[in-house]
Structure 1
Amino acid sequence: MLATQAMADSHATSTSASQSHVTPPELEQTLTLLTSHRSVLGYMLLSRGQPVTIIRHSGVVFEGEQGKKYASAIARIVQSVQTGLEEVSGGHNEGDDIRFMRIRTKRHEIMISPDERYLLAVLHDPATT
């Protein structure tokens, strides 16, 4: 639950992180808080460009090729959900962008906070409290 609140808080404080790739102090504090929570397996800060690039990550699950796969999948998930919302609204959802998503599997939960310039994704183990 702490990770969820930190992600929601980071949405408002970190919108300039990907433009210069310099992390503002507020985002640094949020990322430190996220990584200190024992259920958090890692996070990824991704660009919204094509191709999606990893700006920053934490956790072995997001390293190397596996990290690239996660980055690509996260970008596809966000795009797919946005497209689906546009389809069901008949194009009348102007300005109604996705703010936060949670996807839970048997083993993990991924929380995604999209912004117009970046995506923040946090992977955690919901069984760990």
Structure 2
Amino acid sequence: MFHSFNNVTDFIFIHSWFVISAVLSVKVYNFNKIVKMATEVEETIKRIQAHKGVMGVVIVNHEGIPIKSSLDNATSVLYAGLIGQLTEKARNVVREMDSTNELTFLRVRSRRHEILIAPDREFILIVIQNTSD
């Protein structure tokens, strides 16, 4: 039933193999989970982008860097920086009004565009759409 090891080296080798196998299994699981999440993000962006009037979608990380965008790089960086600042100010206003509350969505409308902002702990989703459509 039980395998007897000839020496400590055999035991260490077998033990190391089990540890490596377990670590690789977790890494493969995490990789597959990340791939699945990335696919879901892509599908969500495509679904949003398909709506009439949507000009672009930008996802910004907590450092203010656009990590996914349907816009050109310069425009993505511009929106990421400005919307990041606006979102932080709006968060502070909401907290000052009620310290138990938090900003969940922000909508900014001008004559030409409407910007929909969905901030999260680690990301900000920005959707830019035409108001004329």
TM-score by length of 2: 0.67
Gaps of 5+ in 2: 1-33
Query: 1: CA distance between counterparts of 2:113 and 2:103?
Result: 21
Write the deviation string for residues 105-127 of structure 1: whole angstroms up to 9, x where unpaired: 00000001111010000000122
Paired residues in the alignment total 100
Matched, 1:55 2:55: no
Aligned-residue identity in percent? 24
Partner of residue 88, structure 1: 97
Q: 2:41 aligns with which of 12, 23, 27?
A: 27
| TM-score (normalised: structure 1) | 0.69
Which structure has the larger Rg? 2
How far off is 1:65 after superposition?
A: 2.6
Larger relative contact order, structure 1 or 2 (CA cutoff 8 Å, min sep 6): 1
Q: Identify the structure with the greater helix proportion.
A: 2
Amino acid at match of 1:57: S
Contact 2:94 2:102 in 1 (8 A): no
CA RMSD of aligned residues (A): 1.9
1:100 pairs with 2:105:
yes
Segments of structure 1 that go 5 or more residues without pairing to the other structure are 1-19
Deviation at 1:102, TM superposition (A): 0.8
Runs of 4+ in 1 over 4 A off after TM superposition: 20-23
